Amino acid sequence: MATPMEAWVEEAARLTKPDQVVFCDGSEAENQNILQTMLNQGDSYQLNQKTYPNCYLHRSNPSDVARTEHLTFISTPQKDDVGPTNNWMDPEGAKFKVGKLLDGAMRGRIMYVVPYIMGPAGSPISKVGVEVTDSPYVVASMRIMSRMGKVATDQLGNSSDFVPGLHSIGDLDPLRRYIVHFPQERLIWSVGSGYGGNALLGKKCFALRIASYMARQQGWMAEHMLILGLESPGGRVTYMAAAFPSACGKTNLAMMVSSLQDMGYKVWTIGDDISWMKIGPDGYLRAINPEAGFFGVAPGTSMKTNPNVMAALHHNTIFTNTGMTPEFEPWWEGIGTEPPPGLITWRGEKWDPSKGVAAQPNSRYTVPAKQSPSIDPRWEAPEGVPISAFIFGGRRARLAPLVYESFNWQHGVFVGATMASETTAAATGDVGITRRDPMAMLPFCGYNMADYFQHWLEMGKKIPHPPKIFHVNWFRKGADGKFLWPGYGENVRVLKWILERVEGRGSAQETPIGYVPTRNGLTLEGLKIAPEALDELFRVDADNWATDLADSKEFFAKFGDRLPAEIRKEHEAVGKRFQQSVPA
Ligand code: GTP
Ligand code: SPV
Ligand code: MN
């Protein structure tokens, strides 16, 4: 008798008609084979094996370098169940339309079957997925990003409890590219892209879109959040999870080298992108990182900004769309060295400064998490780590202060729901446009966001020791257009204040938007920053906030009656607090 997994694989093969089906076991020998196939396809290069052992560069199709949100769909019978922020297709129509593109898509190709676990093997919070794909690059990447192969097949056994994902690169034509989720069937279909979140189906498709839908049904949370541990003097570690939109600093915060190390503050990494959380027997929200690797933004990564990841990247790493030096080493803008003579761009051309950047702005590295010197000894703890603080944030050049604390859970949910950020290169489309992005989940919530806010409100009532909720902004700019805050390793100063607030210490002053640190609340020793810059960093400008409240009101109106009354109440309350506060 075929197992449920084998039966589904057979069905997928009947549709896509590959020449051959290969079940992956995750072994090193198999990996070397897959990497060789990648090299044979001509879009990948072996990097310098002396300085970058077992490292590769992959170039994706130039039309396929980021998530494509306008081609990403949630497919449910009722359109209203996906809400105004998701693209919708009816399941029958989607199966027909995308089915036609998948029909025979793997002719002449190998179909790899990739069983994988999201989360540590054996953890009660982990889940199994099975991706079939015709891309060896996807197989090699999934091997780094998840627990892949035999370990997953063993965990699954004869069970039908897995999320199937059917992926084919198709012909890579954006006109025939679709990423479709069927949350009721817990099924993913992706065709026409070989890049990141479009193709590594365990990541955004399963661990966020499908998992967020399951989490609401089952009373847990699947969030676009990093998880870090802040060690304080004496060695105690306090865990925090932070949601920032794509390319807004999650990886960098999770892996930072603290500038307050001498004072005894150090940051440990659990995860850099996704958090799955369940209420533990101790009444705390327990978080695991469902991933096993980091798929991080390369440009801007250097020994100065993120030495931990730089140390991790020198072996067993796949680089995607970075530049390459004549010594076969990866190179990108902001790596900390001058562009060397003979530099090759991500498109494979000789670099010429007049023609722009050498590395694609969304070029990335794929590296095993355990290679980071900052990896937390508890990063694979099956029960997860207890979360004491949630941190929301984004790129707000003018509005949000460096940090503020919400008054309570309900207000904190409102703070998350009113998040907005300037768009980045992580998705196709314009860069630098401010858009609403609640909880950094706008592109990743697998159902109606009004129901998602309701789920957050309900979780707050159920968690005996709920995390305190904060908001940060590393990206505020001065009149000269430059960032006011040095960011990166200096962000630990903000984490330290957050820790103090969690512990009931830390000095703060009340403003209409929440508690902001007092001038001596934030540890500034050893930091060169002008007092005027600090004034601007903490300024809560009533006019700017009025404009933003009008904008979020318009955004919330899209949800109609489905929007929870609590969100509307909090919206009115902050407006009132501004009216009552005496202008400075
Ligand atoms: P995804 O992987 O797309 O979800 O992104 P992410 O949220 O992990 O963002 P990441 O840490 O990769 O940072 C994205 C960009 O922001 C990089 O170019 C970083 O150099 C830059 N960045 C990160 N942290 C800071 C900071 O504190 N200050 C400033 N100015 N830039 C930062
Ligand atoms: C993001 O865009 O938030 C990422 C990269 O983490 S991707 O895997 O492409 O979604
Ligand atoms: Mn992300």
pLDDT digits 0-9 by tens, 166-215: 999 999 999 999 999 999 999 999 999 999 999 999 999 999 999 999 99
Q: Percent of the chain, pLDDT > 70? A: 99
Distance, CA of 186 to CA of 201 (rounded, Å): 12
Structure confidence at residue 355 as a pLDDT band (50, 70, 90): confident
- Packing angle, helices 449-462 and 409-417, rounded to 10: 160
| Ligand 3 centroid – CA 518 distance (Å) | 32
- Interval 486-535: pLDDT, tens: 999 999 999 999 999 999 999 999 999 999 999 889 999 999 999 999 99
Q: 539 near 508, Cβ under 8 Å? A: no
CA contacts within 13 A on the Cβ side of 273: 24
Closest CA to 139 of 105, 103, 165, 159: 165
Residue with the smallest CA separation from ligand 1 atom 10 is 249
Residue 584 has pLDDT above 70, yes or no: no
| Ligand 3 centroid – CA 74 distance (Å) | 19
Asked if 248 is an active-site residue, the reply is yes
Of 195, 297, 419, 492, the one to substitute when testing ligand 1's pocket (max ligand atoms within 8 A of C-beta) is 297
Domain 4-42+66-219 and domain 294-371 have a common topology:
no
Residue with the smallest CA separation from ligand 2 atom 10 is 197
Residue 477 has pLDDT above 80, yes or no: yes
| Ligand 1 centroid – CA 329 distance (Å) | 22
275-300 average pLDDT score? 98
End-to-end CA distance of the chain: 75
Give one word for 487, left, alpha or beta, with left for phi > 0 and alpha for psi -120 to 50: left
pLDDT of res. 519: 85
Q: 319 near 47, Cβ under 8 Å? A: yes
**Domain ranges for the chain:** 4-42+66-219, 223-289+379-580, 294-371
Q: What is the pTM of this model?
A: 0.98
Determine the atom of ligand 2 nearest the C-alpha atom of 427. Answer: 2
441 CB near ligand 1 (under 6 Å):
no
47-68 average pLDDT score? 97
Label residues 119-145 b or e (16+ Cβ within 10 Å = b).
bbeebebbbbbbbbbbbbbbbbbbbbb
315-328 average pLDDT score? 98
CATH topology of domain 4-42+66-219: Phosphoenolpyruvate Carboxykinase; domain 1 (3.40.449)
248 CB near ligand 1 (under 6 Å):
yes
- Interval 117-155: pLDDT, tens: 999 999 999 999 999 999 999 999 999 999 999 999 999
Ligand nearest to the CA of 298: 1
Please identify which of the residues 55, 205, 248, 445 carries the catalytic annotation.
248
CATH topology of domain 294-371: Phosphoenolpyruvate Carboxykinase; domain 2 (2.170.8)
Of 179, 188, 203, the one to substitute when testing ligand 2's pocket (max ligand atoms within 8 A of C-beta) is 203
Selecting from 3.40.50.2300, 3.30.360.10, 3.90.228.20, 1.10.1060.10, what CATH number does the domain 223-289+379-580 have? Answer: 3.90.228.20
Residue 237 has pLDDT above 80, yes or no: yes
Strand ranges, E, within 261-419: 266-271, 275-279, 285-288, 293-297, 318-320, 323-324, 330-331, 364-368, 385-393, 403-405
| Ligand 1 centroid – CA 193 distance (Å) | 24
Q: 207 near 233, Cβ under 8 Å? A: no
Sheet containing 318-320: order of strands: 44-46, 56-58, 318-320, 364-368, 293-297
201 CB near ligand 2 (under 6 Å):
no
